[in-house]
Structure 1
Amino acid sequence: MTEPVRRAGVFAALCTLSLVVPLLGPEVAGVIAAVLLLGTLAITDGPLFDLLAYPGDYEDSRLYGLFTFILAGVALGLLAVGTPMSIPVFVGTVFLVGYGNLAEQFVRVLTDDDGAHVTGFALAATAAGVVGQSAAFAITDSVAAVEAALPSIVFLAASGALLAALLRDVLLLYDDPIVMVSVGLLLWLLAELELTLGAAEIVAALAVTVALGYVSYALETASVAGMVTGVLLGLLTIVLGGYGWFVVLISFFAIGGLATKFRYERKKTLGVAEDNDGARGSGNVLGNAAVALAAVLGYAASSATLLPGGPDPTLFLFAFAGSVATAMSDTLSSEIGSVFETPRLITTLEPVEPGTDGGVTWQGEIAGIVGATIVAGISWWLFPEVDAVGAGIVLVAGFVGMTVDSLLGATLEGKLLGNQGVNFLATLSGAVVATALVSSLAIFG
């Protein structure tokens, strides 16, 4: 057994102690946590230090990694007993991070494939999250409570595992305290939402998103981190919105991914091709889909009456469609328009070099309008709330968002904003335009 595996095993065993909270109460758990924290400060060398230490701990002979890991667990535990964050969510979060890490370290011994590492972590973390939540429910309530909560348990475990896998890919492997807190806060939010799907349906949703994510990775349209991000977004969209919302979102990922590959060698020659052979990373996925995800969460919260007196859920649907229409429009505009050598700066219409931020071509503008039209048409087809006028609103929002992206590229990108920031603000503008137009029709119509 390698040193990383042994260390991960010890950390997983410590994660099991989170069951002390439902078993013996927060007071006893607090005493145990205090003893563990003091222990990390007292151990400065020897075999036990070598077993528990991360590479960076040797410089100061302090178990900083273990100390911050336990401290993160304590912080989540305090939230669990002092706020609506339930104890099962707390236990499930700690379990999935600890045992997911253990599984990943085992896989690393067997292979160097990054995809296998992420898969091993996600599978084990999901299973551990289910076990941890179920055990806490059984202790604090009953076995019947476990059965009643099973759909939520599966959904939370899978969502937490995917977010943890994504954060671990983006951050360092030694940043599990940050991962634990981030996952716990997300699951806290998701636990407050009402689910309309059963456990089998949630598993089916997970299978669909994982399958499509793997296809995107196999076709090299997404990196490992991009794949995990897409799977997480897809799962949240299906469970909290529905399959109609997912079809709209996946249409962007599918068509946008293919557009990235369009005349890729030509783009490389011009110096405008996406890095990593066109595979989209997590930053690119989130830059284009973060607003859409926020709209899904807002829709679920408003539907679950968590926003008393808040906006009509339909507004979140149009915000979602407007943001996705913008992402689709901007992606097709840049990926198709970039193969033409005579772009013009949108602010002055002067000819600029291919790849210049804010450079547009008439071919790209047409491609962008087609992209927005596709999202508008799908929305009209799938959602009763979106009629012909609503589809027109989505189309306009997508075009406006695409134009905002070009304007920001010509004025602020590279100075105050990066590419992902521009994408985020553009999709936000598309969402705002869509909701503003719908609200105006409701007032004056």
Structure 2
Amino acid sequence: MTAPVRRASVFAIISTFALAVPFGGPWAGAALAAVVILGALAVTDGPIFDLLAYPSDYEDGRLYGLITFVLAAVALGLIAVTTSMTLAVFAGTVLLVGYGNAAAQLVRQRTDSDVAIVTAFCLVATVAAIVGQAVTVALTDGTGTLEAISSTGPVMVFLGGSGALLAALLRDVLYSNDDPIVMLSVGLLCWLLVELEPTQTMPGIVAALAVTIALGYVSYALETASIAGMLTGILLGLLTIVLGGYGWFVVLISFFAIGGLSSKFRYEQKETMGVAEDNNGARGSGNVLGNAAVAIVAVLGYAASSAALMPGDPDPGLFLFAFAGSVATAMSDTLSSEIGSVFESPRLITTLEPVEPGTDGGVTWQGEVAGLAGAAVVASISYVLFPEVTTVGAGIIVAAGVVGMTVDSLLGATLEGTVLGNQGVNFLATLSGALICALLGLSFAVLG
């Protein structure tokens, strides 16, 4: 057993101490945390230090990795006992990080496959989170324990899967040993998801996980997404299905599928012209979030309004149009860029002067037509799947997508490269498409 595996295994055991809070109360958990921290401060060398130390700990002769791990758990525990965050979320999150890390290190000892390592982390982390939540419910619920666990089972699986995906994503895009950041981020996400009151049944949650994981892996296998991009897509897809519904997911996945494949359109020619996406066209988490962050916020807004958590009690249909407008913009912009970039006569959108292919803000009529078609695809799917989207509503979605695509080009010609990066431009463009779609939809009374 290698040093990283031994260290991760001990951290997993320490994470189990989180169950002391639901078992013995906050003071019991605080006492255990204090013992671990004081012990970590006292041990500065020797075999125990070697067992628990990260490579960076040797520079200062302190077990800072262990100390920050425990402090993050303490911070999350304080949030849990002083706010509406449940102890089940707290315990499940700490166990998720501890045991997920141990599984990832164990598999890394046997293979260099990133997919295998991420899969092991997510599977074990999900199970650990579910077990942590179930044990906490059993220790704290005053009614029938089995009945309480059974009634909250679907939410436990949803939180475990969502938390594991976010943790795996953060470990990939940040640093695999940033446990405090991962733990706090996962805990806050799970707290939010509980407040949104997801109502899916156990078969519905399992089906959502199966569908999103399968499609995510296909995107990775086809090299349209990196590991981080795959994890981001799966997480966003899962949240969309559970909090919105399969109709919302179909709209979102249409962008991921068509947009991802469009990056392969005449890829060799794009490489020759110097306008191809990096990594053989595989989309990373930044690209996925830049295009889909507004959409997922709209999904969360829809769930919050449905759960009566939004001030002013807004119509949930408002968020549906914002969602469709943002996806239409992302689709329009992606198709416009990927298809229009292979034509060698782009013009700068602000002056209409000829520019080199790949110039920010350069547009071609072929790309504009492709962008219009992309918005029409999103509008057509929305029209078929959502009764709220009438013929006028579909037209509004198309218009919002085209407006958002134009905003993207204008920002590219004026601010990209100096004030904004590519992902910032994508975010602002999809935000403009969402706002335009929601405002026009409200103005034309298509929200019923």
SS of 1:110 mapped into structure 2: coil
Partner in structure 1 of residue 319 of structure 2: 316
Give the Å deviation of 1:339. Answer: 0.2
After the TM superposition, which residues 4-83 of structure 1 pair with which residues of structure 2 at under 5 Å, given as runs?
4-83=4-83
Partner in structure 1 of residue 119 of structure 2: 119
Give the Å deviation of 1:53. Answer: 0.6
Query: Would you say the 8 A contact 2:198–2:242 is kept in 1?
Result: yes
136-145 vs 360-369, greater mean Cα deviation: 136-145
In 1, Cα distance between the equivalents of 2:446 and 2:255?
31
Give the Å deviation of 1:193. Answer: 1.5
Query: Would you say the 8 A contact 1:137–1:143 is kept in 2?
Result: no
Residue of 179, 192, 205 corresponding to 1:176: 179
Query: Would you say the 8 A contact 2:68–2:180 is kept in 1?
Result: yes
In 2, Cα distance between the equivalents of 1:282 and 1:324?
16
In 2, Cα distance between the equivalents of 1:172 and 1:308?
38
After the TM superposition, which residues 15-414 of structure 1 pair with which residues of structure 2 at under 5 Å, given as runs?
15-141=15-141, 142-414=145-417
In 2, Cα distance between the equivalents of 1:46 and 1:274?
50
In 2, Cα distance between the equivalents of 1:440 and 1:31?
58
Encode CA deviations 1:212-264: one digit per residue, 9 max, x unaligned. 00110000000011001000000000000000000000000000011000000
SS of 2:263 mapped into structure 1: helix
Counterpart residue type for residue 378 of structure 1:
I
Counterpart residue type for residue 419 of structure 1:
N
Cα distance, 1:443–1:383 mapped onto 2, change above 3 Å: closer
Matched, 1:439 2:442: yes
In 2, Cα distance between the equivalents of 1:254 and 1:443?
28
In 2, Cα distance between the equivalents of 1:316 and 1:444?
10
Give the Å deviation of 1:28. Answer: 1.5
Query: Would you say the 8 A contact 2:348–2:413 is kept in 1?
Result: yes
Counterpart residue type for residue 426 of structure 2:
N
Counterpart residue type for residue 77 of structure 1:
G
In 2, Cα distance between the equivalents of 1:116 and 1:286?
24
Encode CA deviations 1:380-407: one digit per residue, 9 max, x unaligned. 0000010001101110110000000000
SS of 2:84 mapped into structure 1: coil
SS of 2:233 mapped into structure 1: helix
Give the Å deviation of 1:309. Answer: 2.4
Query: Would you say the 8 A contact 2:389–2:446 is kept in 1?
Result: no
Encode CA deviations 1:98-136: one digit per residue, 9 max, x unaligned. 101110001101100111111110111111111110110
In 2, Cα distance between the equivalents of 1:380 and 1:263?
31
Query: Would you say the 8 A contact 1:104–1:117 is kept in 2?
Result: yes
In 1, Cα distance between the equivalents of 2:371 and 2:384?
20
Query: Would you say the 8 A contact 2:441–2:447 is kept in 1?
Result: no
Provide the aligned C-alpha RMSD in A.
Answer: 1.2
In 2, Cα distance between the equivalents of 1:188 and 1:23?
21
User: Which segments of 5 or more consecutive residues in structure 1 lack a partner in the other structure?
Assistant: none
Query: Would you say the 8 A contact 1:330–1:368 is kept in 2?
Result: yes
In 2, Cα distance between the equivalents of 1:196 and 1:245?
16
Give the Å deviation of 1:308. Answer: 4.3
User: Which segments of 5 or more consecutive residues in structure 2 lack a partner in the other structure?
Assistant: none
Encode CA deviations 1:120-153: one digit per residue, 9 max, x unaligned. 1011111111111011011111222111100100
Give the Å deviation of 1:79. Answer: 0.6
SS of 2:4 mapped into structure 1: helix
In 1, Cα distance between the equivalents of 2:158 and 2:230?
18
In 2, Cα distance between the equivalents of 1:177 and 1:432?
35
Q: With structure 1 as the length reference, what TM-score do the two structures score?
A: 0.99
In 1, Cα distance between the equivalents of 2:393 and 2:43?
64
Counterpart residue type for residue 28 of structure 1:
A
Query: Would you say the 8 A contact 1:103–1:124 is kept in 2?
Result: yes
Give the Å deviation of 1:175. Answer: 0.4
Give the Å deviation of 1:373. Answer: 0.4
Cα distance, 1:192–1:430 mapped onto 2, change above 3 Å: same
SS of 1:59 mapped into structure 2: helix
Give the Å deviation of 1:268. Answer: 0.1
30-39 vs 247-256, greater mean Cα deviation: 30-39
Encode CA deviations 1:156-177: one digit per residue, 9 max, x unaligned. 0000000000000001111011
Structure 1 runs of 4+ aligned residues shifted over 4 Å read none
215-224 vs 303-312, greater mean Cα deviation: 303-312
Partner in structure 2 of residue 427 of structure 1: 430
Give the Å deviation of 1:372. Answer: 0.3
156-165 vs 308-317, greater mean Cα deviation: 308-317
Counterpart residue type for residue 29 of structure 2:
A
Give the Å deviation of 1:442. Answer: 3.1
Give the Å deviation of 1:443. Answer: 10
Query: Would you say the 8 A contact 2:259–2:331 is kept in 1?
Result: yes
In 1, Cα distance between the equivalents of 2:9 and 2:286?
32
